[in-house]
Amino acid sequence: MAEGGGGPFVRTFDRGLDVLTAFSAERAELSVTEVATTCGFDRATARRLLRTLESLGYVESTGTKYRLTAKVLELGYATIASQTFPEMVQPYLEDVAHAVDHSCSLAVLEGEAAVFLARAAVGRVMTIRLAPGTRVPAAASAVGRALLSGLPPAALTEYFERFPPVRYTDRTVTDPGELAGLIAEVRERGWALLDQELERGVRSVAVPLRDTAGEVVAAVTIGTHTGQVGDDTLFGSILPRLRDCAAAIERTITASPLSPGPSDGTFFPARP
């Protein structure tokens, strides 16, 4: 045991972690010499550490080289499983919110509404408050339509029969057939746009998130003022960043044995 800046620690354990982190997508297989060079060990130390990790099931030999096994994912699963879904996605929402200087939120579908679970806010004034727990009509919101894009046509027809669309502004689309067509476009292109249908002067974009089974389980969204944000900014900057955010969250979801649940922020076992 050695003394580090924060107190005693086990040097061998520290070196074992160095070996594991030496691997990457670009360096999926490494020889003993490559591990030694990357980590700053001698070859004998690198060989001992690799053989120990191999006996524990974290690496496997491919002949002259080693590669990580799926068991290393378990090291991250414990952290993922200990977090609620909002806690997990918050850093991603904050990254995109700071990048585009607009608040970014995540919601799930619950009945006739999209319910917000998490939000990264910036100092802009929006008349629509989207704090966690806020509900907005699914049919008349960008995030709601992104969520509804996960329903097949027959299920969407039944949905509008159960929850008839309501008008909020003179631009709100309430015809179920027209709405089904708009949502089909969302399903095809992978994002939704709502232009002043829920509130005059507010335009929003949203991107659905899919789980390991390819089903829509949540959506991220950003709202803007029509008088402040033009098409170039909305489609050239904000939407691409939002799609990147959605992709990053999806990678976290699909790399985990769990998927986001309903508005209580819990996790459910991923569907096979």
Q: Could you tell me the residue range of the domain that residue 134 belongs to?
A: 83-269
Residue in 184, 90, 183 with CA at minimum distance from that of residue 141: 183
Residue in 135, 127, 134, 108 with CA at minimum distance from that of residue 215: 108
What is the pTM assigned to this prediction?
Answer: 0.64
Per-residue pLDDT of the chain (272 residues; tens, 9 = 90+): 444 445 455 567 888 889 998 988 678 899 999 999 999 999 999 999 999 999 998 899 988 999 988 777 666 555 545 557 788 888 999 999 999 999 999 998 888 899 888 888 886 555 455 677 788 999 999 999 999 999 999 999 999 999 999 999 999 999 999 999 999 999 999 999 999 999 999 999 999 998 877 889 899 999 888 888 888 989 999 999 999 999 999 888 766 544 454 443 333 333 33
**For 3, phi and psi rounded to 5 degrees?**
-100, 120
| Degrees, nearest 5: CA angle 104-101-127 | 60
Same structural domain, 23 and 157: no
- Does 76 fall in a domain? no
Contact in structure between 144 and 123 (CB atoms under 8 Å): no
CATH number for the domain that contains residue 10: 1.10.10.10
- Sole residue written with tokens 């727990």: 133
CATH number for the domain that contains residue 154: 3.30.450.40
Contact in structure between 104 and 220 (CB atoms under 8 Å): yes
Same structural domain, 44 and 177: no
Q: Rg of the chain over CA atoms, in angstroms? A: 23
